[in-house]
Amino acid sequence: MKALVAFLLCSAFGCTTSTSNVNDGAMIAGTPFTAAGAVSMVRTSRGLTNIVLGDFANVCSVADESEQATSKTLTLLLSDFTGADDSTPPMHPGTYSVSTLADPLPISGPFAECGFHVTDGTCRFSETYCTSGDITLTRADTTGYAGTFDVVIAGDHVTGSFDTANCANVSEDGFGTCH
């Protein structure tokens, strides 16, 4: 009987696959991913921070908004809204609930989006966005960020942790090259 109820609930509302952790190896949107590096990119003029976990070691190499050929990244975008049109990068620990692109921006408070980015050998990419979840910062200071995440991407329940250092020379308004 319990199996029937679970089946009916999953059929009606959708279910995620089993949980996988990116620090140990995860399957995201049908693609295997293991984080080899994690960094933070503070974009002050945009009022946000990107926490980027990549399957390559020098993740700061994409701080100029260029693409790393044949790579995969999981990007967590975090911002604290202080008014309808004003936001700042996170400055304190806290929990950020994931919003989708269809959700309205908050008037105030924490805001998060995330996505999984797969880039081919010629730097063409595809992106799959998170549909729900939470990102929790346990450290937010001038050197970087630390925390955990528990999100859903394309029906996959994905978890992980990060402890980042801030990248230098972060682009605020441009796109780099393919490398």
Note the pTM of the prediction, 2 decimals. Answer: 0.84
Position 37 pLDDT exceeds 50: yes
CA 97, CA 140: separation in Å to the nearest integer? Answer: 17
Read off the pLDDT of residues 83-136 as tens digits, 9 standing for 90 and up: 767 899 999 999 999 998 777 777 788 999 999 999 999 989 899 999 999 999
Q: What is the mean pLDDT of residues 146-158?
A: 96
Contact call for residues 74 and 33 (beta carbons, < 8 A): yes
CB 42 within 8 A of CB 49: yes
